[in-house]
Amino acid sequence: MVESTSDNRALARRKAEDQFNKRERLDTEIRLHQQNRWDAETAKIARLKSLRLARDAEISKAGLAEPKATGKKKIGSPPGGGSP
């Protein structure tokens, strides 16, 4: 009877360790996947930023830059900025 209890404990321990190891592998795979997605998103943002800066430089170089508005329009103000 002592061997049976010992065998059951060993079996239960092995099963628990297998489940733990499986969960650890899954967690590692998930973290790796998330890191890869993060890296891809960061690279995409950097690429888009460089394209925007290149476009802005070309516009500026060509003298086609439009003056940017410095303030927000007030709600209810007439077009053209005149007084009501």
Domain ranges (residues) in the chain: 1-62
Highest-confidence segment of 62-66, 70-74, 78-82: 62-66
- DSSP SS3 for 80: coil
**What is the pTM assigned to this prediction?**
0.52
Residue 38: HSE in the Cβ half-sphere, 13 Å Cα cutoff = 6
Q: What does the mean pLDDT of the chain come to?
A: 85
CB-based contact 77:84 (threshold 8 Å): yes
Token code pair at residue 16:
């628990």
Distance, in Å, from the CA atom of 32 to the CA atom of 27, rounded to the nearest integer, reads 9
Query: Which residues have CB under 8 Å from 78's CB, separation 6+?
Result: 84
Distance between CA 67 and CA 70 in Å, rounded? 9
